[in-house]
A = this chain, B = another copy of it.
Amino acid sequence: MKDIDDSPIVRNGNSIILAYDHGTEHGPVDFEPNPASADPEHVFEVARHDAVTCIAVQKGIAEGYHQEYSDDVNLLVKLNGNSNLRDPEDYYSPKQCTVKYAVEELDADAIGYTMYAGSDYEDQMWKEFREVQEEARKYDVPVVMWAYPRGHGIEGNSEYGGDKDSDVVSYAARLGLELGADMVKCKYPGTEDGWKQIEENVGKMKTVMSGGSKRSDRDFLEDVSTTINAGGNGLAVGRNIFQRENPEGLLDKLEKVVFNAKDVDEVM
C-alpha cells in the first residue's frame, strides 16, 4: 500500500471510477437496457464528466478507444476478468494484459485486478497478483483490487453470511492491504457499521464501493453517501450510469456527494 493521493485517479482523496468491463464479465446483455452503451465511444463520452476520475476498461477497449479521449479521461486498465460463457469449478479471473502493456502501450494511469478470496483459485490469484503488484510498482501506477470474496470457502462456511457479510468483506479488504493494493473495491455490506468495519481493518488504504446493479437515484446515492460517511473513498460504478440514457444528472449528484461531502438530501 502506498499513498496515491497525487494519482490522477484520485481527487480530494476520493475517486469515482466509471467501470465498463461488462462486455467481458456479463456480455451484451448488460447493454440491452441502453443499447447505445454497447458502443465504447458512447461510454467514453460519458466518462468526460468531471465527476469521473477514471474509466476502467479491458485492454481491447483501451486500445481502440482511449487515445482520442486521453486529454479528458483518465485510464484504469483492468488486467484480469472472465466471461460468463464458461462454467468453471470455482471463481477465477485470468490475466489478459500485462502491466507493461497497460502502461507502455495503453498509457494507463492505474491498473485493476480482481481477487476472488475464498475461491479454490485464491492461491493462484495471489501469485498472479504478486507479479502484477510488483510490476505496477516499477511503473509507479496505483493498484486497485476488486476485492470480491467468493467461492467454495465462503459458500461452504456456515459462519459466513455470504459475500456481503461485513466480516467477509472486511477480511477480503484487509487482504488487499496485506498483499499490497493501494485501493480496494468492496461490495457494499448494507449498513454504515458494515463499511466502518471495513475501514477499521484497512489502515490508510483507500476503499471504494462497488456500484452494483441499477436502482433508483436515491437508493443508490444513499449507499454512496453512507460509504463516504463511514470513511470510504468513493465508488466504482457501471450499470447505474451507462444503463441510463442521461446519466449526467446522476453524475452531478455523485460528484457533490463524493468530492464535496454533500448529503443526499442536499443534492436531490
Contacts and interface: CB of A to CB of B under 8 A. Distances in A.
Nearest to A151: B86
Contact of A157 (B1, B39, B87, B153): B87
A219 interface: no
A101 B174 CA distance: 21
A224 interface: no
A170 B59 contact: no
A154 B97 contact: no
Interface stretch (A198-206, A208-216, A225-233): A198-206
A126 B94 CA distance: 7
A59 B180 CA distance: 6
* Interface of chain A: mostly helix, strand, loop or mixed: helix
Contacts of A88: 120, 123
A38 B129 CA distance: 23
Interface in A1-54: 1-2, 21, 23-24, 27-29, 31, 35, 38-41
Contacts of A176: 60
A240 interface: no
A203 B85 contact: no
A191 interface: no
A197 B64 contact: no
Contact of A96 (B95, B96, B130, B149): B130
B85 A23 contact: no
Contact of A60 (B28, B81, B180, B201): B180
Interface residues of A, number: 77
A28 B98 contact: no
Interface in A169-226: 170-172, 174-181, 197, 200-201, 203-205
Contacts of A235: none
Interface of A: 1-2, 21, 23-24, 27-29, 31, 35, 38-41, 58-61, 63-65, 81-88, 92, 94-98, 101, 105, 117-120, 122-124, 126-127, 129-130, 133-134, 137, 149, 151-154, 156-157, 167-168, 170-172, 174-181, 197, 200-201, 203-205
23 contacts: A1-B60, A1-B63, A1-B64, A24-B178, A24-B179, A27-B170, A29-B167, A40-B203, A59-B180, A60-B179, A60-B205, A81-B178, A85-B154, A85-B175, A86-B119, A86-B152, A87-B118, A88-B120, A92-B123, A96-B126, A96-B180, A97-B130, A98-B134
